[in-house]
Amino acid sequence: MKPQALNLKILLPILVLLAAAGAAWAIIATKPQTVQQSAEPAIPNVNVVRAEPQSLRLNVMSQGVVAPRETIDLVSEVGGKVAQVHPAMAAGGFFAANELLLTIDPRDYDYAIVTAEAQLAEAQRVLINEQAQVEQAQSEWQALGEGEPSPLALHKPQLAEAQAKLKAAEADLAKAKLNRSRCELRAPFAGRVLNKQAGLGQYIPSGAVVARIYASDVAEIRLPIGTEKLAFLELPLGQNGKTGRWPAVTLRAELAGKPQSWQGRIVRSEAALDDNSGQLYLVAQIAEPFRETPDSQPLLSGLFVQAEIEGVRRDGLFILPRTALSSLQQAKLVNAEQRLEIRQLEVLRQEAERIVIKAGLNPGDRVVVSEMPVPVAGMQVNAVEAPRELAQ
């Protein structure tokens, strides 16, 4: 190969690269320069509500299970065969106060009365005879007139014995009649039958439980209250309960496919705090729990209910949604210059959806209720009236 051709072959790629580099430099050099502009930070929108003082009744929530005021075992005081059973003597049956529920065959007890009456008549005869003997002995001794007579000579011990036997015979008759009356088992109150344990024709011994019954005039509910919530209730805890006014209570439950409510009143507190929970149990009563009205169903024993107890009323409180408060009990406020403030609040109590503020706010303060990733005191914000769902 000739030297000239070899040099051309080597130089040609170099020349091409140089030409490309020059063209690129020319393009870059002639490109118009972009003017750099500093971007202003966007002002965030925040939802706010205005703080307005309110008068608020601080009701206290609790829950419990409905129970009868009184539940007892109906016990036979005498033994015998069941001769009669009232139709109400079945689980769920209603009965009136003093209603005859069960009868034990009384014939043995009728015979005992006849025997006791005969023994009483004999005791009366003996007493009359001894009284006559005493009178005769006194007359005879006076006729003889020989000193002071002994009690035995005047038949006084015999008279005392006859008098004692008469009293014993009277007691035996009274007991026989009492046993006869116990053949009839009556309800001491109006109520319902929980269960029956004796049937027609069955022999039951003395002391046997024939049924378990409960009073239906009043229902009771034990309501646990934390000691920190007692500040919201007016309770006459240091009194006998008769001179103080106990608060009203509303019970709510789902029954028969509908929400139901019943009105009652707290009537007493239990004597001591619960050993396990440290809570105080209040007892609510509902009169005539089985009365059915167009607005409510009967209040059944064993039903689990939510209770709202009437609390104290306080003025000058602020109510905010829970989103307005941080874990440090601080709130974000927007001032007149549309800048953020962080303020410590004094919380009276926290509820499921809202908080009650006792101090730290002024009427008209704009409180932020929307989420802010990094709230910084003094930052510029744009306050927007909160939607209804956030303001509540």
3-state secondary structure the chain: CCHHHHHHHHHHHHHHHHHHHHHHHHHHHHCCCCCCCCCCCCCCEEEEEECCCEEEECCEEEEEEEEECCEEEEECCCCEEEEEECCCCCCCCEECCCCEEEEECCHHHHHHHHHHHHHHHHHHHHHHHHHHHHHHHHHHHHHHCCCCCCCCCCCHHHHHHHHHHHHHHHHHHHHHHHHHHCCEEECCCCEEEEEECCCCCCEECCCCEEEEEEECCEEEEEEEECHHHHHHCCCCCCCCCCCCCCCEEEEEEEECCEEEEEEEEEEEECCCCCCCCCCEEEEEEEECCCCCECCECCCCCCCEEEEEECCCEEEEEEEEEHHHCCCCCEEEEECCCCEEEEEECEEEEECCCEEEEEECCCCCCEEECCCCCCCCCCCECEEEECCHHHHC
170-194 pLDDT, tens per residue? 999 999 999 999 999 999 999 999 9
Q: Looking at residue 44, what is its pLDDT?
A: 84
Q: Looking at residue 370, what is its pLDDT?
A: 85
Mean pLDDT in residue range 383-388: 78
Residue-range domains of the chain with CATH = 46-56+315-391 (2.40.420.20), 79-104+184-215 (2.40.50.100), 107-181 (1.10.287), 216-313 (2.40.30)
pTM: 0.71
294 dihedral zone (left: phi>0; alpha: psi -120 to 50; beta): alpha
Give the chain's mean pLDDT.
85
Q: Does the pLDDT of residue 3 top 60, yes or no?
A: no
Q: Which residue has the higher pLDDT, 390 or 363?
A: 363
205-263 pLDDT, tens per residue? 999 999 999 999 999 999 999 998 998 998 888 766 566 789 999 999 998 788 999 99
Q: Does the pLDDT of residue 111 top 90, yes or no?
A: yes
Amino acid code (one letter) for 302: G
Q: Looking at residue 64, what is its pLDDT?
A: 96
Other C-beta atoms lying within 10 Å of the C-beta of residue 295? 8
User: For the ranges 71-85, 113-127, 176-190, 318-332, which has the lowest average pLDDT?
Assistant: 318-332
